[in-house]
Structure 1
């Protein structure tokens, strides 16, 4: 978690679109991500933390620690200018979701979210890998 990799080419290798994806897990994953980003925008640590997987909660055993980690290491997720969902992939009980983010500094990022299916049927965020995008041509 927290590793930044520069380059858009890596995304193609990691995340291939699959036309036959079941919509339900992808829709659930997108809902969780959107609700967590909304919680970050509202400085609602309790709600943001509620979407973290048990594994993440084991690494950050309090809402305060989790929230501080996100503020410091995931600024584009904490304060996105804009965001949109990209491609998604289902691997067993895991959904990998691409989120295209314009950070607060105007730089473009791709966040690769990994969500795992929980025993209660919900999806929880189990990690986010941030990929900084190369600047595009000026328009």
Structure 2
């Protein structure tokens, strides 16, 4: 019986451990993890993975990973192909937490990418919007 209990406990830790860790994750840590993962998906041109981090409303709006990726590629080059990324403040707003990310775009100019985060009914977080604020002082 001891061996069976050990196997069950091991299985629970292996399969539930990552979910338990995320349940205790702060909104800032979740935002940074999600945004980094989406940026990595952009770098790999992995539309499906990048799209998976978008909120359900954004997924409905764009309809497909290909449409979403085309919008990012053509309208959000600083987050699609950043030269540098630095996470800054997480600010509470009426729309949801705004994770501010300093990026240097492929044009060498600095921007603050404002990622609006949305907590889902299951407690997970998704990106519900992003807008770019061009900066004059910070660039390459």
Tell me if both proteins adopt one fold, taking TM over 0.5 as the criterion. Answer: yes
Shift of 1:58: 1.4
Shift of 1:105: 1.2
Which of 57, 60, 68 lines up with 1:66 in the alignment? 68
- Report SS of the residue matched to 2:48: helix
- Return 5+ residue gaps in structure 1 as ranges: 1-22
Shift of 1:120: 1.5
Count of residues in correspondence between the two structures: 117
Which of 29, 32, 38 lines up with 2:31 in the alignment? 29
Q: Supply the RMSD in Å over aligned alpha carbons.
A: 2.2
Q: TM-score, with normalisation over the residues of structure 2?
A: 0.77
Does the aligned pair in 2 maintain the 1:93–1:117 contact within 8 Å?
A: no
Shift of 1:91: 4.6
Q: 1:24 to 1:136 in 2, by over 3 A?
A: closer
- After TM superposition, what 4+ stretches of structure 1 lie above 2 angstroms from structure 2? 90-94, 135-138
Indicate the structure (1 or 2) with the bigger Cα radius of gyration: 2
Per residue, is there more helix in 1 or in 2? 2
